[in-house]
Structure 1
Amino acid sequence: MFPLSFATSLQLLVQPYARHRTEQSITLEGSRSPLHHQPIMYVVLFETKPSPAHQSTYMSIAASLKPSLALVDGFLSNVRYRSLTRPGWLLSLSTWETERALVRWRAAGTHHGAQARARGGVMEDYHLRVGQVVAGDGGAEGLDTTEVGAAACVMLVYGRADGLDDGPSDASELAASMGLSLDGRDGATLEEQGLVAWDVFQAVDGLGELVLLSSWRDEADSSRFHGEVGNGQLSQGKVQKVRVLRDYGKYDRREAPQFFEDAPGGETTH
């Protein structure tokens, strides 16, 4: 729970969708939500854990890529968040108009060099997923989902939390305020209903922007959550459903589109 002084100083600003209402000041606006750009086709979810000894190096690498990234035709946005459930983990969430735009960025020499450097020890671990935004009924046909990832679909719910600071936050309360009750529903746990994992991230710039990232076993499971929260309880433009096309990481390279030498520190799967 939040400290009483924090909880009592805030008023709930969520629309009256919530049967999960709590005392957080959550506004489901997401002023930088990628849905403000239309049309959005692709999302890259890049979860990273920089080595504590190389935090400054990681941030320097990220900053050095910004000018090149901004010049890529088809690039739309990139926001960096910190996890509220896993200390040290960050989320870089970028959006793209087309898959061709992603290929352009992947082929950029500056990007490839930065990846190789980060894999050499700057990042302890990372998890990268590439997906296509789809409508609630499934959207575009003909795209294969990941064959190795535990989750075929991801739901992104954008919001704001006024009054959050750098202190500890109850991520489960925030998740409930954004529509994901961890108690389950209809007598079944969320795991039984297909939830693989979840996390709440806060933008590192300190503006209070949040994103709830929930990963679902398949599209049918995510559609139930989308139907309850995305279509029925939140206003349009606050929720994204993402079909995961590729899922890989520092040591699991089975769906990685690029070849790198095996990274030190763990066993690599090809």
Structure 2
Amino acid sequence: MKDTSPDNTAAKSAGTVVIFEVTPRREGLNEYLELGAALQSELRKTPGFIRAERFSSLSEEGKLLSVSFWENEKAAAAWRNRPAHRNCQKKGGETLFERYSITVASVVRGYTRDERAQAPQDSEKALRRK
């Protein structure tokens, strides 16, 4: 999964983040990646979707991490319940995944090197450029 955001900045503020940790079975990896790629178009059209990205673990061989950013939990739930996504969830759980976990979290703040409006004051003070 590539970063599907148009600009990958903090300009669009996410309220909810979904973290999907998965270790696909060796024989299921390619099919899992194909299913994910096939869902991308529908994902990008989902109201409230901001962006998503996939990473490979450096400490656990074969483990992948997908992080998606949503305007709110209702938007993330709407995606979770889309029929195409539900079908992929079922297929993954039954035949493609060795194990997985899902964490849904509320965003406390978000900022970048250049967009500092939500940065904590102690960070601003510590990182003040001379």
Q: If the TM-score is normalised by the length of the shorter chain, which range does it land in?
A: 0.7 to 0.9
Matches within 5 A, 1:133-212: 133-135=107-109
Deviation at 1:231, TM superposition (A): 5.4
Question: Structure 1, residues 136-195: CA drift from partner, whole Å, max 9, x if none?
Answer: 9xxxxxxxxxxxxxxxxxxxxx9xxxxxxxxxxxxxxxxxxxxxxxxxxxxxxxxxxxxx
Q: Could you tell me which of 77, 90, 97 is aligned with 1:116?
A: 90
Q: C-alpha distance in 1, partners of 2:45/2:125?
A: 38
SS at match of 1:134: coil
Counterpart residue number, 1:95: 69
Matches within 5 A, 1:234-245: none
Deviation at 1:43, TM superposition (A): 0.6
Q: C-alpha distance in 1, partners of 2:56/2:22?
A: 10
Q: 1:121 to 1:78 in 2, by over 3 A?
A: same
Structure 1 gap ranges (5+): 1-31, 137-157, 159-225, 236-270
Q: Answer yes or no: is 1:85 the counterpart of 2:59.
A: yes
Q: 1:59 to 1:135 in 2, by over 3 A?
A: closer
TM-score (normalizing by structure 1)? 0.39
Higher relative contact order (CA 8 A, sep 6+): 2
Q: C-alpha distance in 2, partners of 1:93/1:63?
A: 15
Q: 1:114 to 1:232 in 2, by over 3 A?
A: farther
Q: Answer yes or no: is 1:51 the counterpart of 2:21.
A: no
Preserved contact between residue 44 and residue 131 of structure 1 (Cα < 8 Å): yes
Percent of residue pairs identical: 30
Question: Structure 1, residues 190-249: CA drift from partner, whole Å, max 9, x if none?
Answer: xxxxxxxxxxxxxxxxxxxxxxxxxxxxxxxxxxxx887x656568xxxxxxxxxxxxxx
Q: Answer yes or no: is 1:106 the counterpart of 2:80.
A: yes
Q: C-alpha distance in 2, partners of 1:39/1:111?
A: 24
Q: 1:227 to 1:68 in 2, by over 3 A?
A: same
SS at match of 2:51: strand
Amino acid at match of 1:43: V
Deviation at 1:99, TM superposition (A): 1.5
Q: Could you tell me which of 58, 76, 82 is aligned with 2:50?
A: 76
Amino acid at match of 2:64: L
Preserved contact between residue 34 and residue 40 of structure 1 (Cα < 8 Å): no
> Relative to total residues, which structure has the larger helix share, 1 or 2?
2
Q: Could you tell me which of 30, 34, 40 is aligned with 1:66?
A: 40
**Cα RMSD for the two superposed structures:** 2.8
Structure 2 gap ranges (5+): 113-119
Q: C-alpha distance in 2, partners of 1:106/1:93?
A: 14
